[in-house]
Amino acid sequence: MTLASKSGGRLIAVVGPSGVGKDSVMAGLHEAIPDLHLVRRVITRAPELGGEDYDAVSVSQFETMVEDGAFAVHWRAHGLHYGIPITVKYQLGKGTDCLVNFSRKALTQAAEIFPRFVVLNITAKPETLAHRLAARARETDEEISKRLAVADKPLPAGLEVISLANDGPLFQTIALGAALLQPVSL
Ligand SMILES: Nc1ncnc2c1ncn2[C@@H]1O[C@H](COP(=O)(O)OP(=O)(O)O)[C@@H](O)[C@H]1O
Ligand SMILES: O=P(O)(O)OC[C@H]1O[C@H](OP(=O)(O)OP(=O)(O)O)[C@H](O)[C@@H]1O
């Protein structure tokens, strides 16, 4: 790969099981590093269910957007469709690092699309996840059980991965994450 093709901002894909704290850590990192762009996803989830700020669309609207090439990457999980707007390429092209809540299933595909692709892998113990999902109360008990059943998924090989444990207080996770994400000066 040439130096020119490695220019631009980093696409930082935040992954980890449900309840691990992806959205909370992302919000904290954005506060700590205001230059970091938070990517707003398009999701076929009812609007205003809390947590992240997203664009809620219907399944048919989502399908039209796919046909129109509105997404850089899209995937399906938890019975929902998720899309990353193609406009993220504009942000990256300006040299802006972009932070986005991602699927572990979509990492391999994304690594081929984005020249500077980094995975921020958030981890926590199973009991921490169960407790946090119950407290968040965005999903039903049945949906929470399904999410916990698929909590443990291996990451594909060959990616640049930064791992960050979030069992302790959120401010500690954010401070460590912000330090780990500081751009490397050459
Ligand atoms: N370090 C932490 N300590 C305590 N609670 C946390 C911490 N990180 C996240 N939470 C809480 O856990 C729940 C799940 O976090 P969230 O950011 O929605 O996770 P995810 O996006 O990975 O599903 C939320 O209610 C959030 O406020
Ligand atoms: O392939 P996986 O890595 O398991 O990820 C599947 C989906 O789970 C998360 O969604 P969402 O943010 O809606 O759910 P969560 O907050 O419960 O993690 C993540 O953003 C993916 O869209």
pLDDT tens digits for range 121-136: 999 998 999 999 999 8
19 belongs to an annotated ligand binding site: yes
Q: List, for residues 39-78, the tens digit of each pLDDT value.
A: 999 999 988 776 788 999 999 999 999 999 999 999 999 8
pLDDT of residue 52: 84
Task: Write down the domain spans for the chain.
Answer: 7-178
153 belongs to an annotated ligand binding site: no
161 belongs to an annotated ligand binding site: no
For the cut 50, the answer to whether the pLDDT of residue 1 exceeds it is no
177 belongs to an annotated ligand binding site: no
pLDDT of residue 185: 52
**Which ligand 2 atom is nearest residue 106's CA?**
1
The ligand that comes nearest to the alpha carbon of residue 105 is 2
Q: Which helix (H) or strand (E) holds 113?
A: helix 107-113
Q: What beta strand segments (E) does the chain contain?
A: 11-15, 37-38, 42-43, 55-56, 71-77, 80-85, 98-101, 117-123, 160-165
For the cut 60, the answer to whether the pLDDT of residue 3 exceeds it is no
Helix (H, G, I), strand (E, B) or coil at 12: strand
Return the CATH number of 7-178, one of 3.40.50.300, 3.30.365.10, 3.40.50.720, 1.20.1070.10: 3.40.50.300
Please state the pTM of the whole predicted model. Answer: 0.93
pLDDT of residue 48: 77
Q: Taking residues 2-21, what's their average pLDDT? A: 82
The ligand that comes nearest to the alpha carbon of residue 24 is 1
Q: Which residues line ligand 1 (CB under 6 A)?
A: 16, 18-24, 51, 132, 135-136, 166, 169-170, 173
The residue whose C-alpha atom lies closest to atom 5 belonging to ligand 2 is 103
Cα–Cα dist 15/87, whole Å: 21
Helix (H, G, I), strand (E, B) or coil at 130: helix
Q: List, for residues 87-122, the tens digit of each pLDDT value.
A: 999 999 999 999 999 999 999 999 999 999 999 999
Top mutation candidate among 14, 18, 24 for ligand 1, by most atoms within 8 Å of CB: 24
